[in-house]
Amino acid sequence: MFLRQTRRKKDGKTHTYWNIVENKRLDGGRVVQRHVLYLGEINSSQAAAWRKAIEVLDEDAGRARTLALFPEDRCDAVADDASVVRLRLSDLRLCRPRQWGACWLAGQVWRELGLDRFWADRLPPSRKGTRWDQILQVLVSYRLIAPGSEWKLHRDWFGRSAMADLLGADFGLAETHKLYACHDRLLRHKEALFSHLVERWRTLFNVDFDVLLYDLTSTYFEINASDVPEGDKRRHGYSRDKRPDCPQVVVGLVVTPEGLPLAYEVLAGNTADSGTLRIFLGKIEKQYGKARRIWVMDRGIPTEEVLAEMRGSDPPVRYLVGTPKGRLTRLEKHLLDKPWQTARDGVQVKLLAEDGELYVFAQSADRVAKERAMRRRQMKWLWKRLRQLAAMEISREEMLMKLGAARSRAPTGWRLVEIEMDKESSMFVYSLNRRKLRVVRRREGRYLLRTNLTGNDPALLWQYYIQLVAVEEAFKNLKGDLSIRPIFHKDEGRIEAHIFIAFLAYCLHVTLQRRLHALAPGLTARSALEKFAAVQMIDVHLPTTDGRELVLTRYTQPDPELQLLIGQLKLRLPPQPPPKITSTTLNVGNLVESHLLVVSNRYHNRPLLCFVYVGLKQNCEALQLFRISELHELHFALSNGCGINRFREARVVNNTGWRLTPPGRPRCDGLFQNVGCDRDSSTCRHVKPIHAQEPGCQSHPTPGSPFQAFVHQP
């Protein structure tokens, strides 16, 4: 592997982009280059670090370790050695492939932020042993890696992931009622989480929180608005998603210039932007105390009244905010006499002090070129389309529809065109409004900012304002990578908890992004997760000649490019899980699938989902029940109609378990002739055991004990 640079000239500047490339030799001898990682624009020290890492990796790649396998037909000389296990390699099985790498990476970031300790203290296990902190980690990892509904997590994703292996748990973490019940335990810890994250980010990245960026977004619900109860936060309002027909909630977010979130709030969907700033000012001051912070906002959020309160507070709250274009028109005459000052390359400013505030009129050459190119592109398309429409002979109604479509396609260009349409026919005349065009050209790439930071460098003020893109990037990640919608919950508390989980996933996302950005700006959290997702975990089953089975649970070795990325992130893969040797076990997953019974309860007029988990071992005394301790414990009757037709008889072991004897096996003691339930009771009646002591059976069950199993009642 090697580094390759690509130069691209854009807007008069030469940009150098770096990639890691690998040579691959094809069957015909031809060598092709495979793109491994995109690093973006990196500096010389970063490039040197990547080159060094690649060289070390290539040196290690030449070394190999050879292991010897001893099948059953090649170890006769040590056949009498009890420490030797002979394997039937011809019966080797590879079972349960599942995604491991991305789940492991999410867990590393989770622990790096200290969220394992934070939630272990606040979400203790229930008296039945439910680990709510681990369920929350599953929900957040799912939202980060492959976002979807909780039902999809339960039905599909958890079984195809290695979350149970990484957390040392089982499928109990993905039971539907636990996933939903976990939502109800989160919101009370929101403020404590904000404080915890601030301290962790200050430790990890040495960031300060003197500059705060504030903005709002919305997320909508595709539901019937008449079904929303009175007082619910789901309301119609200004939709940033272009869905005014749907109820929505408004989400306000405060982040640092690095994109690290400081706080958020879920507001009613009809909340005006101008009515939210006072709420967040009080929230941040209460949470983190008074400090000389700088609030950066877009136009439309603060009102004159709130800005006056910010100037008059003790200490004064500093702000930098964009202004509406109407104010630029009012101040344009005063700004004409002011000289241009160079803030930095390509950025010029004019300063105007008025009423204790400083107005900064900024002009960016890059923004001028960009906005002018966008406007010209729209005008070119619109002019061509109007020429086509003018030549059409269609009805007046059709022409109006086509003109409306053109207006929605090119709104900026449409404002510069005047159209006069005949009142009777579809004919129209169009012309360019040159006066409006001159005004637009004068304001392209130019912004009017206002601030009470009268003594600051104009270049710094401009830098603060363009950092508002960090908030927009956060909203883009929440709606894109993390898929905050669709939201399927109906309860308002669950909806806010869903957004809370998405916020936690964004915290993991932005933390990983900051780690990657220090290595190369071109690396993204999503690309890293996709690379890690290629590492799978699999169970290797090796039967032995004495009826036991050696089980090796292994994750696959990462590709060279992923090893390189792991080294740069200073991560270390955990050791492989230790091998286990057990007696031959029945495939629990297949058994559960084949014996998932829907039993109609005619007394309560609702179905019961009966989950039966069993394991089959070589000898009759080794048969056992795998209990589901988290489900509601009910007594359940096993009879011929229960679908366990693979086994002949049921045997009681004790009050908490049971045995199954497969066909062809000898009977052991404790065999029952019949097991059933009373009509008027949900408990099994005691059954009469038949004591039949058989050779080789070592277990002695308690006579007269009830048959016991577990039933989940949804």
Q: Higher confidence at residue 550 or residue 701? A: 550
What's the confidence (pLDDT) of residue 107? 96
Q: What's the rounded mean pLDDT across residues 618-647? A: 30
Q: What's the rounded mean pLDDT across residues 217-223? A: 91
Q: Higher confidence at residue 491 or residue 61? A: 491
Q: Higher confidence at residue 23 or residue 359? A: 359
Q: What is the pLDDT of residues 265-303, one digit of tens each?
A: 999 999 998 888 888 888 888 888 877 788 998 888 888
Residue 560 has pLDDT above 90, yes or no: no
Cα angle 460-462-464, degrees, rounded to a multiple of 5: 70
Residue 683 has pLDDT above 60, yes or no: no
DSSP string, 399-415: HHHHHHHHHHH-HHHHT
Closest CA to 18 of 519, 530, 528: 519
Dihedral Cα 11, 16, 22, 24, nearest 10 deg: 40
Pairing of strands 31-40, 13-25: antiparallel
Q: What's the rounded mean pLDDT across residues 84-98? A: 82
Residue 496 has pLDDT above 70, yes or no: yes
Cα 85 to its chain centre, rounded Å, is 45
Give the strands of the sheet with 318-322, arranged side by side: 261-268, 248-255, 211-220, 294-297, 318-322, 446-451, 357-364, 347-354, 341-344
Contact, 151 vs 88, CB < 8 A? Answer: no
Contact, 709 vs 638, CB < 8 A? Answer: yes
For the chain, percent of residues with pLDDT exceeding 90: 34
Pairing of strands 211-220, 294-297: parallel
What's the confidence (pLDDT) of residue 336? 82
**Token pair 């990890």: residue:** 204
Q: What is the pLDDT of residues 476-489, one digit of tens each?
A: 888 888 888 888 89
Q: Higher confidence at residue 402 or residue 630? A: 402
Residue 620 has pLDDT above 50, yes or no: no
What's the confidence (pLDDT) of residue 481? 82
Residue 493 has pLDDT above 60, yes or no: yes
Q: What is the pLDDT of residues 323-359, one digit of tens each?
A: 877 777 788 888 888 888 888 888 888 888 887 888 8
Q: What's the rounded mean pLDDT across residues 596-622? A: 31
Residue 695 has pLDDT above 90, yes or no: no
- Contacts of 575 by beta carbon, 8 Å cutoff, 6+ apart: none
Instruction: Give the span between the Cα atoms of 673 and 638, in whole angstroms.
Output: 11
pLDDT band per the 50, 70, 90 thresholds, residue 655:
very low
Contact, 359 vs 449, CB < 8 A? Answer: yes
What's the confidence (pLDDT) of residue 503? 94
Q: Higher confidence at residue 650 or residue 199? A: 199
pLDDT band per the 50, 70, 90 thresholds, residue 423:
confident
What's the confidence (pLDDT) of residue 42? 76
What's the confidence (pLDDT) of residue 87? 76
What's the confidence (pLDDT) of residue 84? 60
Residue 714 has pLDDT above 50, yes or no: no
Q: What is the pLDDT of residues 165-184, one digit of tens each?
A: 999 988 889 888 999 999 99
What's the confidence (pLDDT) of residue 670? 33
- Contacts of 386 by beta carbon, 8 Å cutoff, 6+ apart: 406, 417, 419, 430
What's the confidence (pLDDT) of residue 583? 60
Among 396-405, 509-518, 601-610, the minimum mean pLDDT is found in: 601-610
Please confirm whether the linkage preceding 714 is cis (ω < 30° from 0): no
| C-alpha dist (Å) from residue 374 to 36, 105, 377, 413, 444 | 34, 40, 5, 9, 10
- Contacts of 454 by beta carbon, 8 Å cutoff, 6+ apart: 353, 356, 357, 358
Q: What is the pLDDT of residues 34-83, one digit of tens each?
A: 677 777 787 777 777 766 665 544 434 444 333 333 455 544 544 455 45
Closest CA to 320 of 341, 336, 301: 301
Q: Higher confidence at residue 311 or residue 499? A: 499
Mean pLDDT of the chain: 76
- Contacts of 102 by beta carbon, 8 Å cutoff, 6+ apart: 145, 529, 530, 532, 533
Q: What is the pLDDT of residues 121-168, one digit of tens each?
A: 999 999 988 999 999 999 999 999 999 999 899 988 998 999 999 999
What's the confidence (pLDDT) of residue 283? 87
pLDDT band per the 50, 70, 90 thresholds, residue 674:
very low
What's the confidence (pLDDT) of residue 268? 93
Residue 368 has pLDDT above 70, yes or no: yes
Residue 611 has pLDDT above 70, yes or no: no
Residue 458 has pLDDT above 90, yes or no: no
Overall pTM surpassing 0.75 (yes/no): no
Among 55-59, 187-191, 569-573, 692-696, the minimum mean pLDDT is found in: 692-696
Contact, 237 vs 245, CB < 8 A? Answer: no
Residue 120 has pLDDT above 90, yes or no: yes
| C-alpha dist (Å) from residue 312 to 158, 309, 321, 353 | 54, 5, 17, 18
What's the confidence (pLDDT) of residue 5? 81
What's the confidence (pLDDT) of residue 343? 80
